[in-house]
Amino acid sequence: MEEALVRATIPQDLEKLLGVESRPHPKAFTDAFLKNSLPHTTRCDVNNLLTHKALILGYSRPKKDKRKSKKPKGLNARQKRAMKVFQLKPEHQRYELFLPLHDLWRQYVIDLCSGLKPTSNPQFVQQKLLKADFHGAIVTVVRSKCPSYVGTTGIIVQEFKHVFKIITREDKLKVIPKRNSVFSVEINGFVSHIYGSKFEQRASERSAKKFKVRGTIDL
Amino acid sequence: MALQLKDKDAYQRMNYLYQAAHCVLSQNPENVELARFYCFTQKTIARRLVLRQDPSVKRTLCKKCCSLLIPGVTATTRQRRKNSKTRFTVLHCLSCGQSKTLLNDPNHCLWVDRPEALMEQQKQPDQGPSNKKQTKGKKPDGPVSSKPSAAKSDAKSTAST
């Protein structure tokens, strides 16, 4: 039994039979799976374990699980703080990993506006953009009250109430406040400027909220 | 009968968030938090606008922590039995420890899968509000229901269908 068999891809005819698709880099999945199922002490050196020994999976399960306490379906703020936000483990996330997400976003926006630049008027596209989702878009800060933000470009990873979290090409995670900044989004030739001060809503609330034309638009 | 426009936008957005969560997980299977963030946004949109989601989508989201459940990556699937008749599947979320129990009854059929729930096949324009509700329930079914069938399928290919 070779270890190479664990990481081998499924042959083509079996793929069709089972109805699965093999991913291009299966090593990441096996590593994650092993990390989850191995007991705590030996979790550090996964690769070392794969070389010679036989693994014991799911051994020493902690006994505290037997209580079967079904909490009501809510969750409290403590849990939210412990888990939800983006950890960016030891800078795992590289810029290249988010490029497929950007591709998906581009298809989504083209589908949303159902057209390209020459056909549809800008007004219609902007109305759609107000309710659209920006996760995965490439934005650039064009104008800002704080000059050090200007020129930052990256893919939006998360959108909170007052900030955007952006990952730049140098794999740095930047947190940029929405207030007093102008962002520019570009979709195959169609450039749109977003005044961040008017966008200070949580991402989900923006699709529920209607926008009023209010006052002058400036920084 | 066409959908009202603002709901269609919201459905497209929820659909996109769901696919984005799959895409992110397929690129980096250790990063569960980002997928959880996208699914939480999707749930909040649905809660705000009171939109109905297809059961096949809701089954893959954890109710407690809103993470995307993929058997093998973020969740554990087991088959159990109560007595010799009823069998059920237990889907256990690895991050928050919440279990989801699904009955395996071969005779049980969901409402949305039945042919009378499909709006497009009905010719008569009566029963206004109830029919509208059913169409709204069916809308995310098309691009999204192909998603859970292949758990790690390529997000781009389903977006193009």
- Model confidence pLDDT, tens digit, residues A122-150: 777 787 888 888 888 888 998 888 888 88
Does the pLDDT of residue B112 top 70, yes or no? no
What would the mean pLDDT of A156-168 be, rounded to a whole number? 86
Q: What does the alpha-carbon distance between residue B135 and residue A156 come to, in Å, rounded to a whole number?
A: 33
**Residue A55: C-alpha distances to residues A47, A48, A125, B14 (Å):** 12, 11, 56, 41
Distance from the Cα of B117 to chain A's closest Cα (Å) equals 26
Q: Which of A83, A132, A135 sits opposite B38 (nearest CB)?
A: A135
> Where is pLDDT greater, at A173 or A45?
A173
Does the pLDDT of residue B62 top 80, yes or no? yes
DSSP for residue A1: -
ipTM over 0.85: no
Distance from the Cα of B124 to chain A's closest Cα (Å) equals 30
**Percent of residues, chain B, with pLDDT higher than 90:** 0
What would the mean pLDDT of B66-73 be, rounded to a whole number? 82
Is A59 in CB contact (< 8 Å) with chain B?
no
Closest residue in A to B34 (Cα–Cα):
A86
Q: What does the alpha-carbon distance between residue A124 and residue B105 come to, in Å, rounded to a whole number?
A: 48
Is A157 in CB contact (< 8 Å) with chain B?
yes
What would the mean pLDDT of B31-36 be, rounded to a whole number? 82
Encode pLDDT of A21-31 as tens digits: 555 566 777 77
Judged by DSSP in three states, A29 sits in helix
What is the pLDDT confidence band of residue A19, given thresholds at 50, 70 and 90? Answer: low
Type of residue found at B112:
V
Please tell me the predicted confidence (pLDDT) of residue B161: 36
Please tell me the predicted confidence (pLDDT) of residue B69: 83
Which chain A residues have a beta carbon less than 8 Å from that of B41? 133, 135, 203-204
Is B157 in CB contact (< 8 Å) with chain A?
no
What is the pLDDT confidence band of residue B124, given thresholds at 50, 70 and 90? Answer: very low
Closest residue in B to A80 (Cα–Cα):
B65
Please tell me the predicted confidence (pLDDT) of residue B44: 87
What is the pLDDT confidence band of residue B151, given thresholds at 50, 70 and 90? Answer: very low
Is B51 in CB contact (< 8 Å) with chain A?
no
* Range scoring the smallest mean pLDDT among A179-183, B46-50, B140-144: B140-144
Q: What does the alpha-carbon distance between residue B65 and residue B67 come to, in Å, rounded to a whole number?
A: 6
Is B16 in CB contact (< 8 Å) with chain A?
yes
What is the pLDDT confidence band of residue A58, given thresholds at 50, 70 and 90? Answer: low
Q: What does the alpha-carbon distance between residue A207 and residue B48 come to, in Å, rounded to a whole number?
A: 9
pTM as predicted: 0.71
Does the pLDDT of residue A158 top 70, yes or no? yes
Closest residue in B to A74 (Cα–Cα):
B64
Is B30 in CB contact (< 8 Å) with chain A?
yes
> Where is pLDDT greater, at A74 or B148?
A74
Encode pLDDT of B90-105 as tens digits: 888 887 778 888 877 7
Start-to-end Cα distance in chain B: 22
Concatenated DSSP letters of chain B:
-PPPHHHHHHHHHHHHHHHHHHHHHHH-TT-HHHHHHHHHHHHHHHHHHT----HHHHTTB-TTT-PBP-BTTTEEEEEEESSSS-EEEEEEETTT--EEEEE--TT---GGGSGGG-STT------HHHHHHHHHHHTTHHHHHHHHHSTT--HHHHHH-
The label of the residue with tokens 């699904």 reads: B102
> Where is pLDDT greater, at A81 or B149?
A81
Q: What does the alpha-carbon distance between residue A178 and residue A163 come to, in Å, rounded to a whole number?
A: 5
Please tell me the predicted confidence (pLDDT) of residue B9: 81
Which chain B residues have a beta carbon less than 8 Å from that of A38? none
User: Quick one: CA dihedral B94, B99, B104, B107, positive or negative?
Assistant: negative
Would residue A194 be called left, alpha or beta, if left means φ above 0 and alpha means ψ between -120 and 50 degrees? beta
Distance from the Cα of B41 to chain A's closest Cα (Å) equals 6
Contacts of A96 (CB under 8 A, 6+ apart): none
What would the mean pLDDT of B117-141 be, rounded to a whole number? 41
β-sheet with B99-103: strand ranges across:
B75-81, B87-93, B99-103
Average confidence score pLDDT of chain A: 74
Does the pLDDT of residue B40 top 80, yes or no? yes
Does the pLDDT of residue A213 top 80, yes or no? no
Please tell me the predicted confidence (pLDDT) of residue B108: 63
Instruction: Kindly state the tokens that stand for A137.
Output: 């878009």
Is A211 in CB contact (< 8 Å) with chain B?
no
* Range scoring the smallest mean pLDDT among A42-46, A54-58, A115-119: A42-46
Q: What does the alpha-carbon distance between residue A39 and residue A61 come to, in Å, rounded to a whole number?
A: 8
Instruction: Kindly state the tokens that stand for A28.
Output: 């990441």
Backbone φ, ψ for residue B89 (5° rounding): -100, 135
Indicate yes or no: CB of A101 within 8 angstroms of CB of B23.
yes
